Amino acid sequence: MIADRAARMLDGLTLRPVAPYQAAMVRIGFALTFGAFLLREWPHRLELYGDGAAWSGDLARQMLAQNHSFTVLVWSDSRVWFECVYAAAIAVSALLLLGWRTRATTLLFLVLVLSVQNRAVLVGDGGDNVVHLMALYLPFTRCGEVWSLDARRPPRGRDRSGPVLWLMLGAALAAAQVSGFAKLGMLDFGWYSWGTFFWAYWAAVGIWWSVNRRVPQGEWHRLLNGLANLVHTAAMLVIAAEVCLVYATAGWYKIQGSLWQGGTAVWFPLHIPYFEPWPGLSGLLSGSAVVLTLVTYGTVIMQVGFPFLVFNRRIKNVLLVLMMAEHVGIAVALGLPFFSLAMIAADSVFLPTTFLQRVGHGGGALRHRLATRVRHSNPRSSFAPDRPEQAVSGG
């Protein structure tokens, strides 16, 4: 009996990726967060991360030499190089949002997130830290199984662009190392450097594609598919544990503060000019002692209890609604939209599968209705049949 249950559990973990809809939500949420942030900061990009930043390139190199972090922006102080990297970060975020070549785009997303954030470590907030962490985990997930262009891709045998992209990325990585252009984060830290990680990931993807193309239903394919599903499951568990750890840490630190104990902590950020996008709304919220006390104590209770209550399905769903509503309130009242969007994207790992499937079906039905309305509004279009029987016969 125990052996049968263990076998069924192993089959469930290896035959198919767990939580594919939740993985897609995490992918979409964090790609949207990072891409939208870069677009908003486009007018200020040079002052934040470029040659006009207070944190100069020399300071960034000194810190990288100590903490062994990674960023491609210190490879050159050229403004052209910075503009190319910044534009590439926006483009890769858009491709990851759409789910195009997620094995490649998740790794490129990791490179570009680390490159932008590690260029100026003093710029950012808690939302940037969450994006940083999730970018590290996304390459190990199979986040393109649903709601992606990858899911609509033709069979592997007809795939031509994938190997070309794989070869191009390998050539770019080799050129960066051989030429010495990659001065930090690649060669200087021995066998455990970022370069080793990138080469290992590149080789694993190549082996996966080769085996899947030559023996798509063979034993090696099943073995690699099972290993990929196990790695995906482990990454999703780490993401869920990370979210619990973030909330638990924040909640327990709040408990130790006298302002949170007194129920007045929320009052102070509402009166900081930097966090007052709507002064009238801030004044309205801070004018009610009951509302402030409820929000203060409610925040602490939800954050401390999140790791324990998340295992109860019904309580978890109510808690997720409250947490997401709180993040929406933070985005509106304090003017922190990207922090809130990052936290909502992280919370989505706990959303019920049935709910996400209904959302997907609803989105598909809405898209179908819009397409039908467009066809009916232009009856002379070559794509819209003049008579119903033409639609049936394919005329």
For 273-316, what is each residue's pLDDT tens digit? 888 889 888 888 888 899 999 999 999 999 999 999 988 888 99
| Residue 103 to residues 159, 172, 293, Cα–Cα distance (Å) | 14, 17, 46
- Residue 28 CA to residue 22 CA, distance in Å, equals 10
Span 91-141, pLDDT tens digits: 999 999 999 999 999 999 999 999 999 999 888 888 999 999 999 999 999
> Taking CA 214 as the corner, what is the angle to CA 211 and CA 216, rounded to the nearest 5 degrees?
75
pLDDT at 14 over 70: no
Residue 162 burial (10 A CB sphere; 0-12, 13-18, 19+): middle
pTM: 0.89
pLDDT at 181 over 80: no
Mapping DSSP to helix (H, G, I), strand (E, B) and coil, where does residue 240 land? helix
Average pLDDT, stretch 73-90? 94
Span 223-275, pLDDT tens digits: 888 899 999 999 999 999 999 999 999 999 999 989 999 999 999 999 888 88
262 Cβ neighbours under 8 A, 6+ residues apart: none
pLDDT at 331 over 70: yes
Give the pLDDT confidence score for residue 70 in this predicted structure: 84
pLDDT at 326 over 80: yes
Average pLDDT, stretch 361-367? 84
Reference 144, options 257, 28, 15; nearest CA is 28
Q: Which residue has the higher pLDDT, 164 or 22?
A: 22
| Residue 239 to residues 75, 137, 157, 385, Cα–Cα distance (Å) | 31, 7, 33, 48
- Residue 254 CA to residue 25 CA, distance in Å, equals 29
| Residue 393 to residues 295, 372, 379, 389, 390, Cα–Cα distance (Å) | 61, 17, 17, 6, 5
pLDDT band at 391 (very low <50, low <70, confident <90, very high): very low
> Taking CA 84 as the corner, what is the angle to CA 80 and CA 89, rounded to the nearest 5 degrees?
150
